[in-house]
Every structure is written in C-alpha cells, then in structure tokens.
Amino acid sequence: MAVSVPIKSIDLRQGSAIALHSLSWRDWENILDDLGEDRHTRIAYYQGTLEIMSPLSRHERPHR
C-alpha cells in the first residue's frame, strides 16, 4: 500500500530522520523545490534513497 502526503506536512523532531527509497533524480529535484531554501532539515540523496534529517540544535552553528 502506498500513501501520498505533501512533503511539507512531514514534521520531524530534532535528532530524527526519515528515509524514502526508490526515488528518481527528478523526484529529488521536485522535493527540493517543494521544501525551498528556508528549511531546518538536512537532505541527502544517494542512489535512489532520500534521507531527511532534523539535526539537534547543539549541532547547528549560528548563522552570521
């Protein structure tokens, strides 16, 4: 069974991550466009797997 939800509706707690498998490069680009530049998550894509991570606040450096 497949479930479809808007990517922006996914709310990760600090220190958690989610992996999505079997995604194309086009899917990756569309997700980046949907999330935009102003996000608090880190995103990685490798060989069809997309990982979205929400780092702990102590791992974030202040932006100057």
Express each pLDDT in 16-42 by its tens digit: 999 999 999 999 999 999 888 877 888
Kindly tell me if the per-residue pLDDT of 63 is higher than 60.
no
In a domain, 8, yes or no: no
- 20 Cβ contact partners less than 8 Å away, ≥ 6 residues apart: 49, 50, 51, 52
Say what the pLDDT of residue 55 is: 85
The verdict on residue 64 lying in a domain is no
Instruction: Indicate whether 42 belongs to any domain.
Output: yes
State the DSSP code for 43. E
The more confident residue out of 3 and 50 is 50
According to the model, what pLDDT value does residue 16 have? 93
Report the distance separating Cα 39 and Cα 56, nearest Å.
14
Does residue 40 lie within any of the structural domains?
Answer: yes
pLDDT of residue 61: 61
Q: Considering the domain boundaries, does residue 7 fall inside one?
A: no
CA distance 44 to 15: 15
Q: How much is the average pLDDT of 33-61? A: 84
Q: Which domain holds residue 38?
A: 22-57
> How high does pLDDT run on average in the chain?
85
> Three-state SS for 49?
strand
Total domains, the chain:
1
